[in-house]
Structure 1
Amino acid sequence: MTVDSLTSRSARIPDGEAQRIALEYFAIPGEVHRLAGEKDEIFRIRSTDTGQDYFLKIAHEGETEDAYGLVTRAMLHVAGVAPAIPVPRIVPAVDGSVELAVPTEAGARRWTRMTTFLPGILLKTVEVTPDLRRRVGGSLAHLARALRSFDHPFAERRVGWDIARANDVRPMLDDLPAIEDRDLLLRLFDHHAEVVAPRLRQLRRQPVHNDLNTDNVLVDPQTREVLGLLDFDDLTVSQLVNDVATAAAGHVGVGADPLAPALDLVRGYHRVTPLEDEELSLLPRLIAIRLAMYLVIGNWRAERFPDNRAYILRKGALASAQLRRLAAISPADGAAQALHVRTG
């Protein structure tokens, strides 16, 4: 999600129009099932010819060709250099295009992409064990390794959800005088700006997925194998450790040891791509600021799009509880616990 897209909301595309787009531009006649989305229009298309499922994404009106092209090229790159990584495959249009600007019935031209629809169920719907978290972490590390060689002129774009740009989120608190835990959020953002950000800027950077939350991982319901890594829309160049912190944030516990489940994911990552001591030391505070960003950006957007508030803040109560538990751990204790990842 780019900075500009934080203020964007897509006009609704009727199911019938999505069906027409699939047939006219991709030669796929099918049944349409709308999927939930925050700003884009997304559909599952089931071919009436073959029974195969596809994923149709129609971007919001503010999406640019550069941003859409970046995501498409990243997906193609991963499929090319590391075909074993389970990412959706691009389905070309009938004219061979891998993305195209489709004129809609409302008059706007909107960037559109068709991909394969991967099997599995969302990680958020299953009981997540330590072993599964380690598998997710390992999968993210393999994806990051594939993205390391990805090059694109727009890859350094500003993305609102990038932990490296957390200082840009703090001013949103000025518009949220009644947000829950406001004092805690202010302290976290101030600590990040004064202490964490200067250290973070010294760490290794590369293109990263930047959004491997529990909505974006598919798993086998029986074996708990990772079957899909979804949604490259927040891809950007950032510190490698930010990618890990973003994925780990959704696994913070609300019990006596909130870091433990998040560090299971980090262990899985570390086994594939060892993290440096400074990266591990900063991880708990990066996870905390990611949760803080979610709460601030989410509430800020919910104020502007009240009809979509429930979807935008669907994880808000959990994120608040996670952040309170994590904030109770001192930076020194958090760093010491994270550094234990090196031994197992």
Structure 2
Amino acid sequence: MTVPGAREQELLLAAARIARDHFGIDGTASRLHGCEGHIFRVGNEDGRLWVLKLSPDGLTDSIELQRNVLRFLSSRKPGVAIQTFRPALGGNLPRVQFDGRQWLAWMVSFLPGPVQASTPRSQRSPRELGSVMGRLDKILSGFDDDSVRRHLRWDLAQGKDLRAGRKAIKDPVRREQAGGMLERSLTIVDRLQKGLRKSVIHGDANDYNLLTSGDGKSISAVIDFGDLVESWRVAEAAIAAAYALLDSDEPVALAAEVLAGYHSQWPLNEAEIEAFLPLVEIRLCMTVIHAAMAADDGDEYSQIHAEDAWCALGVLEDRNLCRGHYQCRAACGLDSTPQTRPLTQWLAKRSADFRPVIAENLLSSAIVLDLSVGSEEFAVSSDDVETLTEKLFAHIESAGGTAGIGRYRENRSLYQSELFRSASTEARSFHLGLDLFAAADTPVMAPLDGKVLSVTDNARDLDYGPTVILQHDADGQEFFTLYGHLSPATLDHLEPGQEVGAGETIGWIGTYPSNGNWPPHLHFQVMTDMLDYQGDFPGVARPSEAWYWRGLCIDPNLMLGLDLPVDAAQDDPRH
């Protein structure tokens, strides 16, 4: 333990005198760290601990607001511990001399437990964080105090003010990066602003304002209501997520967990959910811009999260915000996309109108294949495509089938190449389309009118090979169909922008190795949104993200109309 120097000893004694003379607490003082002013822990003989705060003289309204909200919360049950406010002996906030300046002195109870910043991020629960803040904000919605309607530089509703401050970022590359991300996020939030409800929020759920239980895993207390403000309700979840995702390799997934926890306690509407990730980006921009503005003042506190925030912005910069929005919707229990439900209903109503994608006589006696993890029937590596082809088609023939069906939403062990996995994440093995196994050169037809969006050869080993994506109109709502593993002849048969009619041949089933090096089959998939993909779209997903992808890639059998059990996850509530 470091022994304070002589000057610090004098200041600690002075702090102890302030606690005794103005608050009736006779004890010893030790210094705590905070963003402004001076903070001390004061303990007396009865074992109770208090926090003495010395704040700049102009913060009377802010301190009184914190006093009022702590009194309000003391009679509620927010689910976590909240500090209590200790009145001064004279009633009013005392002005005291300390270290050559005048300060406002005030006191709150000291709560035990380490700050969450001392807990490894791998042990924290982002969903619990969101839940704690949602439950707290739901209670705060009943707090009525004119002082909460104030202008704070950390209020996300004031994000436009950051435009003037970004010039403080000296590095031109970083200045352009922050400026670009700020503008894209402000544009989205501005479009959604009418749907963003206002409420009283804590406003600063960083990991130094959260205390944890003995094991460090559960949040036991929320402290520091200095940024309490009436702002957009969803801003609370965005602020909490912006801190929680620092250092994360999967920031969007982690942020979505925070949002889901918040939504479970204090439900958000669709506009708020869409604004969530842009607000997270605005908060990160706010962190780096305020840090740049304070750098010349020697303000060390404002720099605590700055470098981590820059790293997070770097990870998020290339992420598709629509995809992130859909992840957040799914995490909150909504359909992944707003189009999912109406498109599913539209396809179901018109199921009898669609033309077959391969010859109808082939599908009339099709056999459903089990390609799932654990299937002993086709326990062959995808590297041995010749043996796999022989086994598949021998099975179809022996069963009297005319074609084979590889199921939708099936978790498979076939995808073992680097194309489907990375060092830091689980493999993509959850199938998002239907596979129709038939002889090479079998014609493939458009099930309904459409326009060719792309004709591409995804030529990597175990990729799609020649691929066609069509764009369709569902009474004003666009959607897309994908046809993978086609023959090279398909590439010269169509061109982007070409109109195709229902039943028109758009290509032919290919064979290995030119079809991506797979047994001859058509991979057929229906997508509600292309995200930012061009000429390609994931055909398999991580099993842990199946709940999200099912809304982007809806059941292809709505168009094929097969009276067969082709949805492998139909009875699995997780999917």
TM-score bin (small chain): 0.7 to 0.9
Letter in 1 for 2:156: I
Letter in 2 for 1:251: A
Query: Which structure shows the higher helix fraction?
Result: 1
In the aligned structure 1, how far is the partner of 2:89 from the partner of 2:286? Answer: 41
Residues 41-60 of structure 1 show CA distances to partners (whole Å, capped at 9, x for unaligned) of 1111111x212211111112
How has the CA–CA distance of structure 1 residues 107 and 320 changed in structure 2, closer, same or farther, with 3 Å as cutoff? closer
Query: Is 1:168 aligned with 2:161?
Result: yes
Matches within 5 A, 1:267-282: 267-282=260-275
In the aligned structure 2, how far is the partner of 1:255 from the partner of 1:131? Answer: 12
Per-residue deviation, 1:129:
4.7
Matches within 5 A, 1:77-88: 77-82=72-77, 84-88=79-83
Unaligned runs of 5+ in 2: 1-9, 334-546, 548-575
Query: Is 1:31 aligned with 2:25?
Result: no
Residues 223-249 of structure 1 show CA distances to partners (whole Å, capped at 9, x for unaligned) of 633211011001110000001100111
The answer on whether the counterparts of 1:45 and 1:55 sit within 8 Å (CA) in structure 2 is yes
The answer on whether the counterparts of 1:253 and 1:260 sit within 8 Å (CA) in structure 2 is no
Query: Is 1:295 aligned with 2:291?
Result: no
What TM-score do the two structures reach when normalised by structure 1?
0.88
What corresponds to 2:12 in structure 1?
Answer: 15
SS of the aligned residue for 2:85 comes to coil
What corresponds to 2:315 in structure 1?
Answer: 325
Matches within 5 A, 1:209-248: 209-222=202-215, 224-248=217-241
Query: Is 1:94 aligned with 2:89?
Result: yes
What corresponds to 1:71 in structure 2?
Answer: 66
1:44 to 25, 38, 41: 41
How has the CA–CA distance of structure 1 residues 221 and 301 changed in structure 2, closer, same or farther, with 3 Å as cutoff? same
Residues 18-69 of structure 1 show CA distances to partners (whole Å, capped at 9, x for unaligned) of 111100011111111111122121111111x212211111112332x22221
Matches within 5 A, 1:143-222: 143-178=136-171, 181-222=174-215
In the aligned structure 1, how far is the partner of 2:248 from the partner of 2:305? Answer: 17
Residues 57-97 of structure 1 show CA distances to partners (whole Å, capped at 9, x for unaligned) of 1112332x2222112111111112336541101122224x3
The answer on whether the counterparts of 2:96 and 2:103 sit within 8 Å (CA) in structure 1 is yes
What corresponds to 1:56 in structure 2?
Answer: 52
In terms of Rg, which structure is larger? 2
The answer on whether the counterparts of 1:200 and 1:239 sit within 8 Å (CA) in structure 2 is no
Residues 126-147 of structure 1 show CA distances to partners (whole Å, capped at 9, x for unaligned) of 1245773222211111110111
How has the CA–CA distance of structure 1 residues 129 and 178 changed in structure 2, closer, same or farther, with 3 Å as cutoff? closer
Aligned Cα root-mean-square deviation (Å): 2.1
How has the CA–CA distance of structure 1 residues 37 and 105 changed in structure 2, closer, same or farther, with 3 Å as cutoff? closer
Query: Which structure shows the higher strand fraction?
Result: 2
Per-residue deviation, 1:279:
1.3
Per-residue deviation, 1:124:
1.1
In the aligned structure 1, how far is the partner of 2:190 from the partner of 2:37? Answer: 31
> 4+ residue stretches of structure 1 with deviation over 4 A?
105-109, 253-256
Letter in 2 for 1:241: V
Per-residue deviation, 1:158:
0.4
Residues 166-197 of structure 1 show CA distances to partners (whole Å, capped at 9, x for unaligned) of 11122012233336611111112222333323
Q: Give the total of aligned pairs.
A: 325
What corresponds to 1:336 in structure 2?
Answer: 326
In the aligned structure 2, how far is the partner of 1:92 from the partner of 1:202? Answer: 40
Letter in 2 for 1:277: E
What corresponds to 1:9 in structure 2?
Answer: none
Sequence identity percentage: 25
The answer on whether the counterparts of 2:201 and 2:231 sit within 8 Å (CA) in structure 1 is yes
Residues 258-279 of structure 1 show CA distances to partners (whole Å, capped at 9, x for unaligned) of 2122222222212212221221
Per-residue deviation, 1:209:
0.5
Letter in 2 for 1:327: E
Letter in 2 for 1:339: R
Letter in 1 for 2:52: L
Matches within 5 A, 1:251-270: 251-252=244-245, 254=247, 256-270=249-263
Stretch of structure 1 that moved more, 130-139 or 267-276 = 130-139
In the aligned structure 1, how far is the partner of 2:78 from the partner of 2:222? Answer: 13
Stretch of structure 1 that moved more, 243-252 or 260-269 = 260-269
Residues 193-213 of structure 1 show CA distances to partners (whole Å, capped at 9, x for unaligned) of 333234235311011100011
Higher relative contact order (CA 8 A, sep 6+): 1
How has the CA–CA distance of structure 1 residues 339 and 84 changed in structure 2, closer, same or farther, with 3 Å as cutoff? closer
In the aligned structure 1, how far is the partner of 2:147 from the partner of 2:11? Answer: 31
